[in-house]
Amino acid sequence: MNTSAPAVRTPGKRGKMAEKGYRKLIVWQKANELAYAIYIITKDFPKDEVYGVTSQLRRSALSVPTNIVEGYGRQGKGELRQFANIALGSLAETEYLLDFSLKLGYFSQENHNKLQGLRQEVGNLLWKFYKNI
Q: CATH number of the domain at 115, please.
A: 1.20.1440.60
- pLDDT 10s digits, 79-90: 999 999 999 999
Q: Which residue has the higher pLDDT, 6 or 28?
A: 28
Domain limits for position 76? 22-132
- pLDDT 10s digits, 48-61: 999 999 999 999 99
Whether 13 is covered by a domain: the verdict is no
Task: Please state, in angstroms and as integers, the Cα–Cα distance from residue 96 to each residue in 1, 2, 57, 115, following that order.
Answer: 49, 48, 9, 12
Whether 10 is covered by a domain: the verdict is no
- pLDDT 10s digits, 73-124: 998 999 999 999 999 999 999 999 999 999 999 999 999 999 999 999 999 9
Whether 8 is covered by a domain: the verdict is no
φ, ψ of residue 58 in degrees (nearest 5): -60, -45
Distance CA 83, CA 64 (A): 9
Whether 1 is covered by a domain: the verdict is no
Residue 21 zone, left/alpha/beta (φ > 0; ψ -120 to 50; rest): left
pLDDT higher than threshold 80 for residue 4: no
Whether 6 is covered by a domain: the verdict is no
* Count of the separate structural domains present in the chain: 1
